[in-house]
Amino acid sequence: MTRAKHKERTKRSKHTSTHYERPAVTVDAVVLTLKENDLKVLLIVRKNPPFKDHWAIPGGFIDLWESLEEATVRELAEETGVKLSPRNLDPFFVAGDPRRDPRTRVISVVYLGIVRPDKVRPRAGDDAKGVGWFSLFNLPPLAFDHRMILKHTLAYLRHRIERYPFVFPFLPQQFTVSTVRKAFEIIMGNPLQPQRFARALHKLGILKPCAKKSPGLRAERHRLYRLDTARLRPAQLARLRLYPALLTR
């Protein structure tokens, strides 16, 4: 909805928002990547109160005429320079504790985005004094209830990986089996036996071999694969529990 259309609809309405007490609405964008053998989250340094000079998740208040997805894309781009499509953002949590913001009652819709570190170049922008990647397992002091949100993010991510091969958005289109295993180990926090993992992953039938191997390497463990998306239709997913299968086979 455009700003003009919003104003027109407000004029036609018998009741406006001024008739009611109401909370403010914000969006937050949790952007994750696998970098330096760690699970990293993108954070900004707040420029303004409250929590001035504290690290925080990128986000802000929505405009009355924009959707939640549009607000998330805008705030993320304005504060970090990272531009994501709405289809690459997954709403997964709503933070609504009445005491979470000292200014007023604020409800925040939290979105998850996964990126490859070589595809984005974060830079501090609007309302941000700095920007940086931090380990999700070793966070600095954070503004608002953002530590709780990131704790929930890790739980959500691990739950998704148990039900679906959600680890693959972190990887390039072509990858080795050992790259997949390392991604699982980093996110889930459990070491996996390499040969057992490779056998289990191949048994799932979700990989397609590529024509070439990693440059300069000939061993089978360096063969490149890509995800077979045809195997990930709802019917197959209903029977697929990826992570437990990798642990038990």
For the whole model, what pTM was predicted?
A: 0.85
Contact status, residue 140 vs residue 134, Cβ threshold 8 Å: yes
**Which pLDDT belongs to residue 180?**
92
Nearest CA to 231 out of 209, 211, 210, 204 is that of 204
pLDDT digits (tens, 9 = 90+) for 39-75: 999 999 999 999 999 999 999 999 999 999 999 999 9
Q: Which CATH class is domain 164-248?
A: mainly alpha
- How far apart CA 137 and CA 49 sit, in angstroms, is 26
Q: List average pLDDT for each run of 10 residues in the chain, which is 249 residues long.
A: 58 57 94 97 96 97 95 97 95 96 96 94 92 98 98 94 81 93 92 87 86 58 84 56 56
**Which pLDDT belongs to residue 215?**
56
Domain 3-158: CATH architecture, name and number where available: Alpha-Beta Complex (3.90)
**Which pLDDT belongs to residue 249?**
43
Listed in order, the ranges of the chain carrying CATH 1.10.10.10 are 164-248
- Of the CA atoms within 13 Å of residue 200, those in its CB half-sphere come to 19
- How far apart CA 196 and CA 180 sit, in angstroms, is 13
Listed in order, the ranges of the chain carrying CATH 3.90.79.10 are 3-158
- Pairing of the two strands 24-35 and 106-114: parallel
**Which pLDDT belongs to residue 63?**
95
- How far apart CA 244 and CA 57 sit, in angstroms, is 31
pLDDT digits (tens, 9 = 90+) for 165-178: 788 899 999 999 99
**Which pLDDT belongs to residue 3?**
62
